[in-house]
């Protein structure tokens, strides 16, 4: 596994953050329209659509004071550039779209096992607290908060219902979304991990010169069951497809139809 841990980064150092998450080879590739995907899965090796020169830091991960990603059995990273002509009037609607958790419902992905595109997120809705899982409307903001927290429930086609906590940071036209499970996960009635051991991070780093967001998406999952890892139903490509589905979804929110790019090999 090629793993480069980024040093501590903050929104006051956006250029440093971009350099630490996306190396110059990758930046050139994604500005040319490529979507770069890399997944490490214990016992199954690494899937990557990078060229050799692009893959030096393929699994560059964001810094965390609380999480040691080096022990995680599954790590997935995707990098892209999403054109978007940002102005003050467009940023608030964009923020409201990115934090509309109900819009995750209906996301599709490509299943290599089934050899077809099929539903990935069966349902998704915001809730008021972990103690109350009744659906509530997405929150519509009148102004952009620098720090926003929310809870939501999703029904994953493979892992069932997941209770998630979302934390969204914004500064200088940049957005950092962090979603983490609050309960243990299971698959085929087999325990997978403990609460908090599956997370998603998505960075939207805006560049005024090229008018768009450098997009970085990461998923990390502990898979504590050796049985699941040996069954063969989990593969690096499967996780790459799920990661790509979210990229296509977020591109859609920014006004781009990338449905023909659902398969990570393309």
Q: CATH number of the domain that 82 lies in?
A: 3.30.530
Write the DSSP string, 76-123.
EEEEEEEE----HHHHHHHHHHHT-GGGGTT-EEEETTTTEEEESEEE
At residue 37, the pLDDT reads: 95
Structure confidence by residue, pLDDT tens digits, 121-145: 999 999 999 999 999 999 999 999 9
Listed residue (142, 25, 156) closest to 79, CA to CA: 25
Q: What is the pLDDT of residue 57?
A: 55
Give the pLDDT score at 66.
87
Q: What is the mean pLDDT of residues 143-172?
A: 96
Percent of residues, the chain, with pLDDT higher than 70: 91
Distance CA(184)–CA(194), nearest Å, equals: 4
Q: Compute the mean pLDDT over every residue in the chain, rounded to the nearest whole number.
A: 89
Residue 2 domain flag: no
Question: Would you say residue 187 has pLDDT above 70?
Answer: yes
* 133 occurs within a structural domain: yes
Q: Does residue 4 lie in a domain region?
A: no
CA distance 93 to 96: 5
Domain that holds residue 209: 11-261
What is residue 25's predicted lDDT score, i.e. its pLDDT?
Answer: 87
Residues 81-86 have a mean pLDDT of 95
**pLDDT of the residue at 14:** 60
Give domain status of residue 256, yes or no: yes
**Does 191 fall in a domain?**
yes
Q: Where are the alpha helices (DSSP H) in the chain?
A: 14-21, 24-31, 88-98, 226-231, 236-253
Model confidence at 67: pLDDT above 80: yes
Average pLDDT estimate for 211-233: 93
Asked if residue 173 is part of any domain, the answer here is: yes
What single-letter DSSP state applies at residue 136? B
Residue 93 maps to a domain: yes
Number of domains in the chain: 1
The verdict on residue 3 lying in a domain is no
% of the chain surpassing 90 pLDDT: 74
Give tens-digit pLDDT for 226-235. Answer: 999 988 788 9
């Amino acid at each position: 596994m090629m793993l480069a841990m980024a040093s501590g980064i903050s929104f006051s150092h956006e250029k440093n953050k971009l350099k630490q998450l996306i190396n110059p080879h990758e930046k050139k590739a994604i500005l040319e329209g490529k979507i770069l995907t890399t997944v490490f899965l214990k016992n199954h090796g690494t899937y990557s659509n990078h060229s050799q020169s692009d893959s030096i830091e393929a699994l560059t991960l964001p810094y965390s004071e609380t999480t040691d990603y080096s022990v995680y059995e599954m790590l997935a990273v995707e990098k892209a550039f999403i054109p978007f002509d940002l102005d003050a009037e467009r940023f608030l609607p964009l923020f409201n779209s990115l934090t509309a958790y109900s819009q995750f419902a209906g996301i599709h992905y490509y299943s290599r096992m089934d050899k077809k595109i099929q539903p990935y997120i069966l349902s998704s809705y915001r809730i008021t607290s972990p103690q109350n899982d009744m659906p509530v409307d997405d929150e519509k903001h009148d102004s952009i908060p620098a720090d926003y927290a929310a809870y939501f429930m999703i029904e994953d086609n493979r892992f069932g219902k997941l209770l998630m906590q979302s934390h969204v940071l914004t500064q200088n036209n940049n957005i950092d979304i962090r979603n983490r499970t609050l309960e243990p996960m299971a698959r085929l009635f087999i325990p997978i991990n403990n609460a908090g051991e599956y997370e998603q991070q998505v960075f939207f780093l805006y560049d005024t010169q090229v008018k768009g967001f450098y997009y970085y998406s990461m998923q990390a999952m502990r898979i504590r069951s050796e049985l699941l890892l040996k069954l063969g139903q989990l593969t690096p490509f499967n996780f790459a497809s799920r990661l790509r589905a979210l990229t296509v979804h977020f591109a859609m929110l920014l006004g781009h139809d990338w449905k023909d790019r659902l398969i990570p090999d393309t």
